[in-house]
Amino acid sequence: MDFLRPASWEEALAAKAEHPTAVPIAGGTDVMVEINFDHRRPEYLLDLNRIGDLYEWEAVEGSVRLGASVPYARIMEHLRTELPGLALASHTVASPQIRNRGGVGGNLGTASPAGDAHPALLAAGAEVEAESVRGTRLIPIDDFYTGVKRNALAPDELIRAVRVHKADGPQQYSKVGTRNAMVIAVCAFGLALHPETRTVRTGIGSAAPTPVRARTAEDFLSAALDEGGWWDNGKVITPSVVKQFADLCAAACNPIDDVRGTAGYRRHAVGVLARRTLTWTWDSYRGTAQQKGMVA
Amino acid sequence: MRVNFTVNGRPQEADDVWEGESLLYVLRERLGLPGSKNACEQGECGSCTVRLDGVPVCSCLVAAGQVEGREVVTVEGLADQARQRARGDARGTSLDEAKALAAGGQESPAGEGTGAFPHAALSPVQQAFIDAGAVQCGFCTPGLLVAADEMLERNPSPTDADIREALSGNLCRCTGYEKIMDAVRLAAARQGEGV
């Protein structure tokens, strides 16, 4: 095994181009587990810890350009306003020790269906900034997850950042597990209301081979909200609409039975999380709307 | 490969380090600092918690090569760090203190580092764990001490919820955590009184 320690992003890209099999390591919270347990013996480890750019974030045209290595602890602390869904998701990651090391770049690189950040990214809307010596491309988050622990990155590409759309409405994130800390999601659900476009977006974790959106449920809810004039009148969403939304979210799952839960339980739980997060976000939207005097 | 870094204020050099080796392995097996415990090797249990550039991390998940040039504080360095904090100075460990630390580390197989250490005082958190009876088998204790110590540095008056959150990455299978909560509350109270 070789340990590559690029001092700059350019050096990292050059190293990845020269050694496409090199495994990037940043927080190490996925990679080191595999090495410790002898599940993986990469030929090259590509250490990204010395690249300061990856630990920074900036506002870019309605998005936050979040460096791939910004630890979850910092997202929780500093990006609660701009990225509320991702901040909530970050708070559910493992433990303080892990949140001090791990970041969204690693979640995306590993592309586990159980990665905590994915439902929040799907719901908020995001692009993955992938870079290689050949150039930079922005991969829409909807196209990023291609299979169980597979993603759309080319072998010579590294994740520089993820551009997450700034929240234009309430967002929620919820996760099922046996306790609050140190839990791999049995299933997880992210919901973002987008009042500016009068749409809603969802993200489901741990209930399909990849993180997925519940598109039919989103379309149904967006149409229902329009039809009822709810974005304007700020009324409570009728229970039958909430139930239909929850059922459609459950139907968007394609889960498996495993040690953490059965497929049936996951489907059921996703429906429950969908209902709860919709209630929470809509209550919050109504509260904000009332404050602004938008609601009669 | 060779890795140079600072442990408990003292420059260290580890040779013949395998590229896939963890910081935990280097500390325990190459530098003779067995205070950080090796249990799960997957970041679940927190018994290997150390501070890397001040931040609590699981040393089992840090690749040895990643600590090149960086500063690590282990449970063996807690007392010394607490003394420095109390003095309010940011300077490194003096040569005498470093020697004493090293002697302590070598003489104490459990790695608690008291031994012949001339300033044998424990850090306030360590003392509070003893006084509150928060130690049973002791295996999780080093990780808990490092995590609790860091929280008290950041947050001198923690609520119970703050303590639970700060220690949520550290598993203890003996105590049921109540005595550990007592110990951290005690350390916080003593810190507040300036004891």
pLDDT tens per residue, range A99-108: 999 999 999 9
pLDDT interval class at B194 (50, 70, 90): confident
pLDDT above 90 for B108: no
For chain A, what percent of residues have pLDDT higher than 90? 95
Nearest to A37 among B41, B44, B170 (CB): B41
For chain A, what percent of residues have pLDDT higher than 70? 99
Spell out the residues 6+ positions from residue A295 whose beta carbon is closer than 8 angstroms to its own: A232, A233, A234, A286, A289
Cα separation of A54 and A103, whole Å?
Answer: 10
Worst-scoring range by mean pLDDT, A95-104, A135-144, B87-96, B132-141?
A: B87-96
Beta-carbon separation of B41 and A25 below 8 A: no
CA distance A223 to chain B (A): 41
Q: For chain A, state the CA radius of gyration.
A: 19
pLDDT interval class at A83 (50, 70, 90): very high
CA distance B186 to chain A (A): 22
Tell me, what's the pLDDT at B88? 77
Instruction: Tell me the pTM.
Output: 0.92
Tell me, what's the pLDDT at B116? 38
Tell me, what's the pLDDT at B107? 40
Tell me, what's the pLDDT at B95? 54
pLDDT above 80 for B119: no
What residues are paired with A193 via a beta bridge? A200
Interface check for B55 against chain A (CB to CB < 8 A): the answer is yes
Average pLDDT over residues A80-105: 98
Cα separation of A211 and A119, whole Å?
Answer: 7
Residues of B in contact with A35 (CB under 8 A): 20, 22, 63
Mind listing the pLDDT tens digit for each residue in A247-259? 999 999 999 999 9
Spell out the residues 6+ positions from residue A264 whose beta carbon is closer than 8 angstroms to its own: none
pLDDT interval class at B181 (50, 70, 90): very high
Residues of B in contact with A36 (CB under 8 A): 22, 41-42, 60
Q: What is the mean pLDDT of chain A?
A: 96
Mind listing the pLDDT tens digit for each residue in A141-194? 999 999 999 999 999 999 999 999 999 999 999 999 998 899 899 999 999 999
pLDDT above 90 for A54: yes
What residues are paired with A67 via a beta bridge? A161
Tokens coding A146 = 């291609």
Domain boundaries, chain A: 2-165, 171-291
Tell me, what's the pLDDT at B195? 57
pLDDT above 80 for A271: yes
Mind listing the pLDDT tens digit for each residue in B41-80? 999 999 999 999 999 999 999 999 999 999 999 999 999 9
CATH topology match: B3-74 vs B77-193: no
Give the rounded distance of the alpha carbon of B39 from its chain centre: 16
pLDDT above 60 for A281: yes
Tell me, what's the pLDDT at A132? 98
Q: Which of A175, A93, A181 is nearest to B169 (CA)?
A: A181
Spell out the residues 6+ positions from residue A246 whose beta carbon is closer than 8 angstroms to its own: A271, A272, A274, A275, A278
Residues of A in contact with B55 (CB under 8 A): 100
CATH 3.30.465.10 at A2-165, yes or no: yes
Tell me, what's the pLDDT at B81? 94
pLDDT above 80 for A262: yes
Beta-carbon separation of B20 and A28 below 8 A: no
Worst-scoring range by mean pLDDT, A112-126, A270-284, B114-128, B146-160?
A: B114-128
Nearest to A45 among B20, B60, B165 (CB): B20
Q: What is the mean pLDDT of chain B?
A: 88
pLDDT interval class at B86 (50, 70, 90): confident
Cα separations (Å) of A151 from A108, A125, A128, A146? Answer: 8, 17, 11, 5
* CATH superfamily, region B3-74: Beta-grasp domain (3.10.20.30)
pLDDT above 80 for B105: no
Supply φ then ψ for residue A77, to 5 degrees. Answer: -80, -40
Side chain identity at residue A106, one-letter code: G
Average pLDDT over residues A97-126: 98
CATH architecture of B77-193: Orthogonal Bundle (1.10)
DSSP string computed for chain A: -EEE--SSHHHHHHHHHH-TTPEEESS-TTHHHHHHTTS---SEEEE-TT-GGGG-EEEETTEEEEETT-BHHHHHHH-TTT-HHHHHHHHTSS-HHHHTT-BHHHHHHH--TT-THHHHHHHH-EEEEEEETTEEEEEEHHHHEEETTEES--TT-EEEEEEEEPPSS-EEEEEE-SSSSS---SEEEEEEEETTTTEEEEEEESSSSS-B--HHHHHHHHHHHHHTTHHHH-PPPPHHHHHHHHHHHHHT-----BTTB-HHHHHHHHHHHHHHHHHHHHHHHHHHHHHTT---
Domain A171-291 in this protein, CATH class: alpha beta
Domain boundaries, chain B: 3-74, 77-193
Spell out the residues 6+ positions from residue A109 whose beta carbon is closer than 8 angstroms to its own: A24, A30, A151, A153, A159
pLDDT above 70 for B115: no
